[in-house]
Structure 1
């Protein structure tokens, strides 16, 4: 026995239950000799009333009214008594008696007359068992408390991160809105076009199998595809009529300008916008600009934006021409399958157009809009 165990046992609270006063006195003195605090009960009913709060019970088997077996069984049904060590004491120490005691829930059994040394050893190991159980219970309680506290801390930290992320996201979206607004100030004819591009790009991305969150990012990023037009001279940007070769070369610089504006941002949305700004005029067959990329080497977000940009540009009025009908535009785009456009993405888009937009889209609202086309005199 260690000093710690000895000190713990000296503080044990023991309940002696026996209807024989002489036996009870002997057991009380024996436990007190071992340094324990002892309570006593002369019957089962009293024992049940005072059992809680003890570390060990010495229980007689044969008692009037309620036997020791019955008392033990009822103690075991209580929350506090489930782990309480119980040593049964009786003058009938046969095999059947021992089995019945164990079935009732007793931890150990000793016969009368009992040997003091044996009683001390059996009580000692039962108290050690109780001590170990209590230590485990305390440790589990401490762990549960630590987990609760840590969970609260983590929830607070995550809540703070969520709020910070939401604020950062809103700041990025605000930046996007301001960039798009800057473009709109330069060319008011493209304001509605910019918003439609975002809506159509999101729908095509969903049709292409993108996750909703990714498609929503594309909705925002695609609207920045022409942000580089802020660097194009007004004489070219606002010219009513076809551009000559030099003017077209100057206009084509808007892809590079837009990329430079957006590329160094820490925002993933603005970085996505930079990719789109640079490559949305590339063509599947390599005849686009500014890098003459071909096929799959063109970033997929830019390929999506190229399709919806072309569609909306042809079906919208421009200073130098009138809008084309949707059916005519679809025919033109089919002819460009595998030349201007990614064949698979174009197929997805044309299915979407045929199912969702049987009208001439002077504008296409974002899908969140609840205004039906007929009610608004056409989309947008």
Structure 2
């Protein structure tokens, strides 16, 4: 793929009418990379594929999940919440428009589609999205000292849970930085990757609520004890529950809730599978397991990086998202730098 092709923005078109898809695809295919979904269920899956879309054109009236619900679910996920959504609709009342804007849409395109109007609105909102990301970088640089203090406080909270579990305090630092490397590799923007860096240290904060007799038991847990151990996920979500307008708390809660899920559906607590597991949970699962394997503990020796990678390859499509495993392996130079830099 040429550099020009790689630099093209990705647009997800969602419409149950083939004629409307043909019009939009014909208009946009030369300037943008396109994905097409004919219903809301498929749209939610395609919105998770990496790299994430830069813009979503979303029909409102569709069978099954309508556009409003698709938008609501996208805005509830930290890694897709920032993607601009433009609704496409044949009829729009003031009440409809208010509803869509309250859900987080940025604009509307009315049917029948006027090509020039549609193109101008796409260009405008892609430009605004780019400006928003550039502004974030400026603010990030200007508030570096404040952000560093915040990050240290969050990391110390996460370390409290790890110390209780006989882990070292460096685990949460390595794991968080692994998450950021993998997030950027899979196409997450800098802003969301930085939020994940801050959120990841709290992935096992719920272990604070597990009795020491179970958490520190040297022998295999009984079935009842294992159920109590698994409850650390729900405890963590309860601890992190709060202001839903906080992207950090929302993402931290999502990581805590889903990093024990497995690609094949055999994980816990909900048995989610595939792309139904939020991206941040799939990323955190790889980062957490990698650090656990390659770290020495009182009860085990550290695995080599090669041994850990071999396990990941065996578990592609089982425990782990196969695409993320490949990306993680491609980033091993950066991963090893972090592993050495934050050694116990």
- TM, length-normalised to structure 2: 0.53
Residues 357, 272 of structure 1: CA spacing in aligned structure 2 closer, same or farther, 3 A cutoff?
Answer: closer
Residues 335, 185 of structure 1: CA spacing in aligned structure 2 closer, same or farther, 3 A cutoff?
Answer: closer
- Give the deviation of 1:217 after TM superposition: 1.2
The aligned residue for residue 266 of structure 2 is 287
Residues 277, 352 of structure 1: CA spacing in aligned structure 2 closer, same or farther, 3 A cutoff?
Answer: same
The aligned residue for residue 352 of structure 1 is 331
Query: Mapping of 1:1-380 within 5 angstroms?
Result: 173=151, 176-265=154-243, 266-353=245-332, 355-356=333-334, 363-365=339-341, 379=343
Gaps of 5+ in 1: 1-160, 367-378
Structure 2 Cα separation of the partners of residues 174 and 352 of structure 1: 25
Structure 1 Cα separation of the partners of residues 156 and 293 of structure 2: 26
Residues 244, 319 of structure 1: CA spacing in aligned structure 2 closer, same or farther, 3 A cutoff?
Answer: farther
Instruction: Tell me the C-alpha RMSD between the 2 structures.
Output: 2.9
The aligned residue for residue 128 of structure 1 is none
Structure 2 Cα separation of the partners of residues 347 and 185 of structure 1: 31
- Give the deviation of 1:202 after TM superposition: 0.5
Structure 2 Cα separation of the partners of residues 273 and 320 of structure 1: 29
Residues 267, 348 of structure 1: CA spacing in aligned structure 2 closer, same or farther, 3 A cutoff?
Answer: same
Residues 173, 324 of structure 1: CA spacing in aligned structure 2 closer, same or farther, 3 A cutoff?
Answer: closer
Structure 2 Cα separation of the partners of residues 268 and 173 of structure 1: 14
Structure 2 Cα separation of the partners of residues 320 and 233 of structure 1: 19
**Helix, strand or coil at the partner of 1:339:** coil
Gaps of 5+ in 2: 1-138
Query: What is the CA deviation profile of residues 69-89 of structure 1, one whole-angstrom value per residue up to 9, with x for unaligned ones?
Result: xxxxxxxxxxxxxxxxxxxxx
Query: What is the CA deviation profile of residues 257-291 of structure 1, one whole-angstrom value per residue up to 9, with x for unaligned ones?
Result: 11111122353212110000010000001000000
Structure 1 Cα separation of the partners of residues 315 and 290 of structure 2: 12
- Whether the 8 Å contact between 1:172 and 1:269 is mirrored in structure 2 is no
Structure 1 Cα separation of the partners of residues 340 and 215 of structure 2: 23
Structure 2 Cα separation of the partners of residues 298 and 200 of structure 1: 19
- Give the deviation of 1:176 after TM superposition: 2.0
- Whether the 8 Å contact between 1:241 and 1:319 is mirrored in structure 2 is no
Residues 223, 275 of structure 1: CA spacing in aligned structure 2 closer, same or farther, 3 A cutoff?
Answer: same
